[in-house]
Amino acid sequence: MKGSQAMQGWQSVVDSRVYCICEEYGVTIVDGRSYPGIRETRAVVTLDRILAAKGEDHFRLVLSTVAETENNQGYIDNHLLLAVSDLVETYRAIVEPRSLWMARMLRQGSYGRMSPAPTVRPDGHVGRESSA
């Protein structure tokens, strides 16, 4: 398969809800050969896997966390999606009261490639390690 034929091939396998829900949250799926910009992703297969494995409620929470975090100004790659999915599942106790979850995510600053990874303790505290 070449070019658009290959593109049509994977699109037909991906659950159509992936496209609809991404559009709802303002996330644009771009061609795999393009370099994604802000709020864009080419990780459509990862999105489909999360939806299939965890269900629509989990998928929506992952997307809303990524899309509504103000300081997430990079493109959305498969590593970010899988990390947020794992965090949502692991820390379900603080995710359930959604406003608390979003408040904590918004306070953390950028999750870009140049920032240090957040530390998350089992008690639900989310923070950054100091570099001092």
5 assigned to some structural domain: no
Domain count, the chain: 1
pLDDT mean over 15-41: 92
**Is position 93 within any domain?**
yes
Q: Which two tokens stand for residue 56?
A: 């629509």
- Of residues 111 and 30, the one with the higher pLDDT is 30
* 6 domain-assigned: no
Environment class of residue 123 by beta-carbon count within 10 Å: exposed (0-12), middle (13-18) or buried (19+)?
A: exposed
State yes or no: pLDDT of 67 exceeds 90. Answer: no
User: What is the residue range of 52's domain?
Assistant: 12-128
Average pLDDT over residues 26-54: 93
Please check the confidence at residue 17 and state whether its pLDDT lies above 90: yes
Whether 7 maps to a domain, the answer reads no
The answer to whether residue 3 sits within a structural domain is: no
53 in any annotated domain: yes
Asked whether residue 112 is assigned to any structural domain, the reply reads: yes
What pLDDT sits at residue 2? 43
In whole angstroms, what is the distance from residue 124 CA to residue 10 CA? Answer: 38
Q: Which of 87, 39, 120 is nearest to 29 (CA)?
A: 39
Domain assignment present for residue 118? The answer is yes
